Structure 1
């Protein structure tokens, strides 16, 4: 006799979606007192830049870490830059390379 309960394998995708939504809501609650309205992708980019070792990361480095195309990183950086959380800085060794560093606001 078939069970009316979904099996763990068929329910897993739904559980992951619910978990992701809960995490996003918790993140919004956590950032609300700071009056920050970053998207989850922007928050992830901030965390990557904050924990990057050595010189600030290049846009290409961020795209690789986020597993997205470089154009998507440009959009994320544009939003964060508009909030004053990051800034673009030229690479002293290669003028065609742009690096992304946190501002004091971004560190907060």
Structure 2
């Protein structure tokens, strides 16, 4: 799951979303970083924050992914369901271009 890098809106909340796959319990995913940590720096430089979650029950046919707001201010960018561990992320940011 990918979000835009953000800081908590107040010091009393985090940068969290709830994720529910089919009817499994909701998993809380926390994108909070602390200060100007290395994780925060990499998130800002790449313009994304990412977290991986394990999906326990993938069934043939229809599956449901539900995403719940836990903290205000989280900007969901995209999510990617990878059924093959050898597949890379479906796309990446293009390299910088310049004109001489």
- TM-score, normalised to structure 2, is 0.22
More helix by share: 1
Kindly indicate which of the two structures has a greater share of residues assigned to strand. Answer: 2
Whose radius of gyration is greater, 1 or 2?
Answer: 1
Q: Tell me the TM-score normalised to structure 1 length.
A: 0.21
Return the structure number with greater relative CO, CA threshold 8 A, min gap 6: 2
